[in-house]
Structure 1
Amino acid sequence: MNATLRKLGMPALLVAGTATAMTAADMVKDPLPDLGAQAAGPAVAPPGAIASAEGLSGAFRAATRAALPAVVHVRVASAARAVSSQQVPPEFRGTPFEDMFRRQGGQAPRAGSGSGFIISADGYIITNNHVVEGMDRVMVVLADKREFEARVVGRDPNTDVAVLKVEARGLPVARLGDADVLEIGDWVLALGYPLDLGQTTTAGIVSAKGRSLGIMGRNGAEAPLEHFIQTDAAINPGNSGGPLVDLQGRVIGVNSAIASPTGFYSGYGFAVPVNLARRVAEDLMRDGRVHRPMIGVEIRDVSPADAEVFGLPSPDGAVVSAEPRGPAAAAGLKLGDVIVAVEGKAVKNAGDLMETVMERRPGDRVTLDVVRYGDRRRVAVRLEEFSNPRAARSRAEPAAEDVAAPAETTGRLGFRAEAVTPEIARELGMERAAGVVISEVDPASPAAGVLGRGMVVRRFNGRQVGTVQELRAASEAVRAGQVVSLEVRLPDGRETIVNFRARS
């Protein structure tokens, strides 16, 4: 720091030396320009541009002043944890090495920090689940520097939302906005306590909506709901749980994640929409857990190939990708149906559908617009509370030795398949050895990413497939660039439809 100051000071010393060498006469001959004349000179930028910039600066200042008092610093810590007797390898139990293993295998103390914002004057605070998960102590520091020990009211790994409570009254409260009215290009501000720097505000725009990153499932979420607001406002470690606000200072998102190769800001940050966060927080405050409604379908985004197969005007909607159950089955939904609207509100992708349904409650009735192979229809579904029927299912793929028999090639489609043997049937939990199983997928083919080893082909372009010969005959009819549709059984027992375009 001192070296930097010295470098910056050098030009000033040179100017001072020059000034002392000038005579009074020189100064009279070359007087300094009149300061009044400088002020009256031509503007650097047109007055309208300056007024617009100053207006935007004013909006940033006003939004920050409105929101910042309700933004808090969340400090967390966990104690060291010893390894339990069940975690000690059997060969070490009851020996002198058991204590050594406990000491070396235990978890060291941890500490960290994040942000949050106050949603009620009596001390309820929203933050991220990942900020407080596994922590023994949570401290909250208010904008006025007061500190409180906080209680974790509830957490939801599926949405990365948590609610804290501090014992206080008359606290400043954040105003909650409406994320649904946001448009790409809108100005937003990210507030919080990044990198332990203290209160910080950064500005950017909404650069995308409805982003799914696939990060929730890594943290034990049973049914991750990702529908992030993407922004280029700088978000760094420590911003997690803080608010993303609009130019009115209203919270429209909860800052949660960044896309970065280094772990620090690289241009893209992500926030949970406040409509979703508020719905989750209400349940956590009331019951300590989330009552998540469900239709009873597993879904995926619509691809261009899906749109062609299912008769859609555009690749929008959510494909029913497994056999419906519960309310969906009762309402008559089928595998391959595409849900394109809920209560008349268009569904662009799977995240859209999940977030829209999450705004309801178990027991509510909703009307779905569904496209079934080009035929649009409307069905009513009574929502049930979410349960996870897949929790106990095995997802293991068949081992390499189970598919090592000579395989048949399906040519331009980019995968190889073989008959299901008794060994493969046992591995896949099938009642009998029948059918055709995918044994290899060319990573450079159109099938890569949609097909995988261990999938059993049931139908190919509507034709039932029971043998390798039947699969070969069906695939030989495929033209270059044609979309193909396969009904397959997954290694965990579910059935789904996979669509992709053959090689040109």
Structure 2
Amino acid sequence: MKKFLLIVFVAVLGGLIALGGANYLGWGDTRYVEVANTPTSLTSFSTAPGTRVVPAPTDGFVIAAERALPAVVHIKASKPAGRASGQVPFGIDPDQLPDAFRDLFGNPGRGGNSPGEMPLQQGSGSGVIISSDGYIVSNNHVIEDAETLEVVLNDERTYTAKVIGTDPTTDIALLKIEETGLPTIPFANSDDVRIGEWVVAVGNPFSLTGTVTAGIVSAKGRSIDIVRRSGGDLAIESFIQTDAVVNPGNSGGALVNQNGDLVGINTAISSPTGVFAGYSFAVPSAIVKKVAEDLREYGVVQRGLLGAQIRQLNTAYARELDIDRNNGVYVAEVMEGSAAQEAGIQSGDVIVAVDGVRTLRSSTLLEQLGRHRPGDQVTITAERDGKQRDFTVVLKNSEGTTGIVRPAEKPAAVASLGAEFENLDEKDVSQLNLKGGVAVTSLGNGLLAEQTRVRPGFILTKVNGRQVENVDQLKRLLESSKGAVTLEGVYPDSPDRTYKYAIVK
């Protein structure tokens, strides 16, 4: 018994000595210090022994948020949850994106689902006001195929937006709301953005409106092969990569510098799960500005093309080609009659600069050329046989000329529906207790098949709330309508039930 008590006494004494020593050395004594006057640089903090400092954000974050928030809008888009073509709603399937990249277009839920109507999928994204008279830039994938677009300002005012134009090759869209005196975000020159610089992302992740996060620029000129899915071979990917936290719903939102100026439009994230996992990507403001100006002025983007097939050099590819150079953009083929051929550029040349800007990556070259219109003159610096030379190139459009490209003419209003119509006779009107209408006799490829679940036999009675009495009146109403169009009607087997559909011409 005495031996047991002695062991207990020694254990307790040892514990007391250990606690006393730890207290003397200051172990475990962590203090949180509130810094009253936050310096403008986080590197100005110093840590005293035994003190843990919690750094506050720089004043630049506050300035950026105050200037950017009023001009970032919440975009609510809706469209049928499925289409006859079998495409994924909004053109995005997170499980199909290459290399685990996921887009940022939120998808919080679905709308009504009444019989005979296509259920609506509700999407949530962001946009940036770039002019006080209501022009807004966003991502193409945010608004693509949407039936209706609702824009909610930071002060909760709500508007219906119309699409001015879209550019799948850069994933940029331009919208317009009818309002004046709106707050805007000025464009910064994205060329001046430096790796390691602080930036602030503003948007509406998960429909959490007016959310602000911050991070640094991790890389520039990043290509992730996400825009190429919809933009094809003309896609321009030269993203600003950051570690600012962005999530579904941030798409189309602002990436600003600490002065609150726009340096990019947030577009995609790198994630195995669909939510933020470390990196986000934004379209540089230089590209956004040029695309928005083109869409506003011409309705379609004016692309100045070099007319050559290119491939980025690396060490392995250089060995394969037996080239004594492991970076730059290799010209694999020059198209007949192209701007490159007329300037004297040849297959085998290695492009290293455009107008003095180094282009050691294909993404950088495409970005620099993407800022120009057909007819613009640029200086291409290329290496041939170990020597560099300059080529003066007059860029061309997709048609091989230097003229302005005009938007393709849209089909006639009734023809675009892809259906055959016939007038109702007086007997049908009387039996169905209608004031008038036109019957859908057959369906082909067109807006009705793509965007609604209208079946042959459907009797269309109203367009945007206005009565339809015959096919001629249907044509006039459709031609005078812009953007989203609401169609109402009945089926002969259930004349007491009215069905409503929305299409976007």
Per-residue CA deviations over 1:382-428 (Å, capped at 9, x if unaligned) read 1101359xxxxxxxxxxxxxxxxxxxxxxxxxxxxxxxxxxxxxxxx
Q: Deviations over 1:207-242 (max 9, x none)?
A: 011010111122253411000000100110100000
Residue 181 of structure 1 is matched in structure 2 by: 192
Which one of 203, 207, 217 corresponds to residue 192 of structure 1? 203
User: Is 2:344 the counterpart of 1:332?
Assistant: yes
SS of 1:172's equivalent in the other structure is: coil
Deviation at 1:322, TM superposition (A): 2.2
In structure 1, the partner of 2:467 is none
1:354 offset after TM fit, Å?
1.0
2:222 corresponds in structure 1 to: 211
- Give 3-state SS (helix, strand or coil) of 2:274's partner: coil
Q: Aligned match of 2:265 in 234, 251, 254?
A: 254
CA distance in 2, matches of 1:367, 1:105: 59
Q: Is the aligned partner of 1:111 residue 2:122?
A: yes
| Aligned counterpart for 2:294 among listed residues 263, 279, 283 | 283
SS at match of 1:379: strand
Q: Per-residue deviation at 1:345?
A: 1.9
* Shift of residue 337, structure 1, vs aligned partner: 1.0
1:236 corresponds to which of 247, 252, 262: 247
2-structure distance, mates of 1:265, 1:183: 23
Contact 1:324 1:334 in 2 (8 A): no
State the TM-score, normalized to the length of structure 1.
Answer: 0.61
Distance 1:369 1:243 in 2: 34
Distance 1:386 1:317, change over 3 A: farther
Query: Given that residues 67 and 175 in structure 1 are in contact (C-alpha distance below 8 angstroms), is that contact kept between their aligned partners in structure 2?
Result: no
Give the whole-Å Cα distance in 1 for the aligned partners of 2:196 and 2:247: 21
Distance 2:195 2:81 in 1: 45
Aligned match of 1:148: 159
Contact 1:310 1:336 in 2 (8 A): no
Structure-2 residue corresponding to 1:394:
none
Residue number in structure 1 paired with 2:417:
none
| 8 Å Cα contact 2:170/2:231 also seen in 1 | no
How far, CA to CA, are the matches of 1:105 and 1:216 in structure 2? Answer: 35
* Residue identity in the other structure for 1:336: G
Output the CA distance in 1 between the equivalents of 2:188 and 2:145.
30
TM-superposition CA deviations, 1:4-60 (whole Å, max 9, x none) = xxxxxxxxxxxxxxxxxxxxxxxxxxxxxxxxxxxxxx9856979953457843221
Asked if residue 375 in structure 1 is aligned to residue 376 in structure 2, the reply is no
Stretch deviating more after TM superposition (241-250 or 336-345): 336-345
Per the alignment, residue 201 of structure 1 pairs with 212
Does 2:377 match 1:365?
Answer: yes
Q: Where does residue 232 of structure 2 map in the other structure?
A: 221
**Deviation of the 1:276 alpha carbon:** 0.3
Aligned to 2:181: 170
Identity over the aligned pairs, expressed in percent? 43
TM-score, normalised to structure 2, is 0.61
- Answering whether residue 124 of structure 2 is matched by residue 123 of structure 1, we say no
Q: Which residue of 2 aligns with 1:298?
A: 309
Gap change, CA 1:314 and 1:245, over 3 Å in 2: farther
Q: What whole-Å deviation, never above 9, does each CA across 1:311-334 have from its counterpart, x for those lacking one?
A: 877533211122333111122222
Extract unaligned runs of 5+ from structure 1: 1-41, 85-102, 389-504
Structure 1, residues 86-139: CA drift from partner, whole Å, max 9, x if none?
Answer: xxxxxxxxxxxxxxxxx9999642210100010000000000000000111101
- Verify: 1:323 aligned to 2:347, yes or no: no
Q: Of the candidates 148, 172, 184, which is equivalent to residue 161 of structure 1?
A: 172
Q: What secondary structure, in the 3-state scheme, does the structure 2 residue paired with 1:244 have? A: strand
Task: Quote the residue 1:268 is aligned against.
Answer: 279
**1:356 aligned residue (337, 349, 368):** 368
Q: State the superposition RMSD in angstroms.
A: 2.9
Give, in angstroms, the shift of residue 177 of structure 1.
Answer: 0.7
Q: For each residue in 1:431-479, what CA deviation from the matched residue of structure 2 results, as whole angstroms up to 9, or x when unmatched?
A: xxxxxxxxxxxxxxxxxxxxxxxxxxxxxxxxxxxxxxxxxxxxxxxxx
Q: Look up the match of 1:71.
A: 72
Count of aligned pairs between the two proteins: 331
Letter in 1 for 2:134: G
Q: SS in structure 1 opposite 2:240?
A: strand
Distance of aligned partners of 1:339 and 1:104 in 2 relative to their CA distance in 1, 3 Å threshold: farther
- Distance change >3 Å, CA 83–CA 344, structure 1 → 2: closer
Aligned residue for 2:355? 343
SS at match of 1:293: coil
CA shift in 2, pair 1:105/1:330, >3 Å: farther
Check whether the contact 1:310–1:373 (CA below 8 A) recurs between aligned residues: no
CA deviation after TM superposition for structure 1 residue 149, in Å: 0.0
Runs of at least 5 residues in structure 2 that lack an aligned partner in the other structure: 1-29, 43-54, 86-113, 401-505
Question: Using a 3 Å threshold, how does the CA distance of structure 1 residues 63 and 381 change in structure 2: closer, same or farther?
Answer: same
Inter-CA distance 82–262: structure 2 relative to 1 (3 Å threshold): closer
Residue aligned with 1:336, SS: coil
